[in-house]
Chains A and B, each alone.
Chain A
Amino acid sequence: MKADKYFILILTCLFLLACNRADETPFTKSDLEKANWPEIEQKARNTTVNFAMWAGDENRNRFFRTEVAEELKKRYGVTLNVVALGDTAEAINKLLTEKQAGKTTAGSIDMVWINGENFRTAKKGDLLWGSFSERLPSFALYDDDAGKTDFGTPVEGLEAPWQRSQFVFAYDRERLKDPPRSTEQLKEWIRANPGKFAYPAPPDFTGSAFLRHVLFHFGGGSNKFEKFDEQLYLSASSKTFAFLNEIKPYLWRRGENYPNSPSELNRLFANREIDLTFAYGAAFASEAIKRGEFPASVRTFVLEDGTIKNYSFLTIPFNASNPAGAMVITNYFMSHEFQLRQSVVLGSIYPHDLSKLSDAQRASVTNLPRAEATLAADELEAHAVPEADSAYLERLEKDWRSQVLLQ
């Protein structure tokens, strides 16, 4: 009897869902050209935005689903629905299928957190709504270079810069007094401490980023790698692979196995199997300490040559149902106010160009509380180098297999 009731309830729900198809007046590129910002905000009022984001972090999920969602409702009358992804590539695959099936309107995702290879795939597959980011008022707060390229792919307004991230190394002060701070020192340290270093096997994102630091070191600095150059790649990569083969016998498990992911690398570090770890995220160690995963004596550092920084972006898919709402939320997410709050709650790096802020805003950024295991923003910025053209990534990841893994 109970089952019957449940069945009828579900059927009723299905019926209501089918009836509840909202009338669709899509917001097009020409609408955006005609509208001014208050009109876009007006258009977004009382709508829902489906925001697809990687959802593997408890604090971030909690922050977006509660505080941020409530604030957006209050401020703009927009309902934020977080679509949880395990990997952003899932959203891109879904959009590819929708493109092939000709579903050009009323898509289920309005906004995606994205960068790098996923952006390149999306741009190449024509999966994005169009140029919008330079119309957002908050765009002016970012460094002029922030919104120009994403891993070497020209952005062209298709996505808006959001968060800034930087690669950092971590060590435990109780176990290691003086960590190596350059590529050469790292080599010496690895040889002197056999089995105490590892890197995730590329194409893992973090392992691949570690390789690029070595590549930049042997190629004469990251600024040479903005556009793909075959000659430069060949000379720098051969030295990179020679370096990696030299350290291979001194790696964790003699380089016969590699960790598969940053979480595996961090677990090895937490279990004291290795003495150095790293991640693409300046606050990763502080977060791990907060969760009780790392001991409180863990600290982070950057290489003297610098470590890679990048931006992650927010974009709108080609078939978004609610582009106006997505723009309003994106603009709010990029604002000083939001970024300040996010830095407090999630420990993320404040991403704006400080010279573009008012004095009061600048002061609030300098006074941000900072976890002990996170480096100060100015130290990070002083050691930040830009990302390479993603063509280098692909070659390096592919050749690593034949030149290092299978050697």
Chain B
Amino acid sequence: MNIASRKHSQYAVVVVFGIVALTPFLLLGISSIAANWRFPSVLPSEFTLRAWSYLGSSASGVLPSVGNSVGIAFIVTILAVLISLPAARVLALNRFRGKRVIMFLLILPILSPSFAVASGSHALSLRYGLADSLAGVIASHLVPTIPYCVLLLIGSFTRLDTDFEDQARSLGASPLAVFRHVTFPAIAPGMAIAAAFAFLISWSQYLTTLFVGGGKIQTLPLTLVSFQRSSDDAVTAALTLTFALPAVIIFMVVAGFFKNES
């Protein structure tokens, strides 16, 4: 096989994958503006912006809930990465008794059914007076995000050669300078992935937000789920696209980050 035809087949694969990945979004896009779309017509007979104008109106509460979702996910991401960094470092570089037990406890929240985690978070938030508050929702989102962040960062720290840190230190670098110039560049790709994960996990939390936020903290998943069970396809499609948007943006940002790295 010559190079040109190999290139062609590579393109073909990319195109097929692209179509497979984009078709659901395309269908959602059409659904969100379709007025009369029934079998056997291939395309809707009428189009309307009803669903999108509803999403933009104050009656839907979508805009404030997007704001809440972004704000909460942003804070959760920062906190989760900050909390996970030291934990991941110790777990990756040190050997000690009970390490396996700690690892197990750490990933327990993502192994348990989400209903149990949500109920437990709610009970705890009630005990500590965090129920129905933004702080409580943020704290409860940390429960499923930290395990992922730690696991991802352990990978980065395992590949970190601590001798470089020691060399920097022996040359008189301050701890902060060591982190900035040696540790951070080494683990930055892992941190980016961990942050992306944390953001998306927080972004998609439903039950915990509902329980701990008590409906007072309205996020996008809450609005979306209440429509999923109705038969209003247009609004559900528009909400689903809004919900999927950050995942696409984050994927592109992270992908761009790696392109620059390599």
Contact = CB atoms under 8 A, between A and B. Distances in A.
B230 to A, nearest CB: 3
A295 interface: yes
Interface in A371-396: none
A261 B131 CA distance: 33
4 shortest interchain CB distances as A-B pairs: A56-B230, A83-B215, A108-B214, A263-B231
Given A6-B74, A17-B134, A83-B216, A291 B232 contact: yes
Interface of A: 3, 6-7, 10, 13-14, 17-18, 50, 52, 54-58, 61-62, 65-66, 81-87, 90-91, 93-94, 97-98, 100-101, 103, 108-109, 261-263, 266-267, 270-273, 288, 291-293, 295
A306 to B, nearest CB: 26
B231 A90 contact: no
Contacts of A52: 215
B185 interface: no
A101 B58 CA distance: 35
Interface stretch (B2-10, B34-42, B157-165): B34-42
Contacts of A6: 71, 74
Given A7-B78, A83-B215, A295-B38, A58 B232 contact: yes
Contacts of B210: 90, 94
B13 interface: no
Interface residues of B, number: 48
Given A7-B75, A7-B78, A288 B231 contact: yes
B38 A272 contact: yes
B241 interface: no
A100 B211 CA distance: 14
Contacts of B216: 50, 81, 83, 108
Given A83-B215, A108-B215, A272-B40, 15 more contacts: A14-B134, A14-B135, A61-B61, A62-B57, A65-B58, A65-B61, A83-B214, A84-B226, A85-B226, A86-B225, A86-B228, A86-B229, A94-B210, A273-B39, A295-B36
B39 A271 contact: yes
A18 B133 CA distance: 9
A3 B71 CA distance: 10
A103 B127 CA distance: 9
B218 A84 contact: yes
A407 B102 CA distance: 49
A97 B59 contact: no
Contacts of B34: 292
Residue from B38, B230, B231 whose CB has the most chain A CB atoms within 10 Å: B231
B119 interface: yes
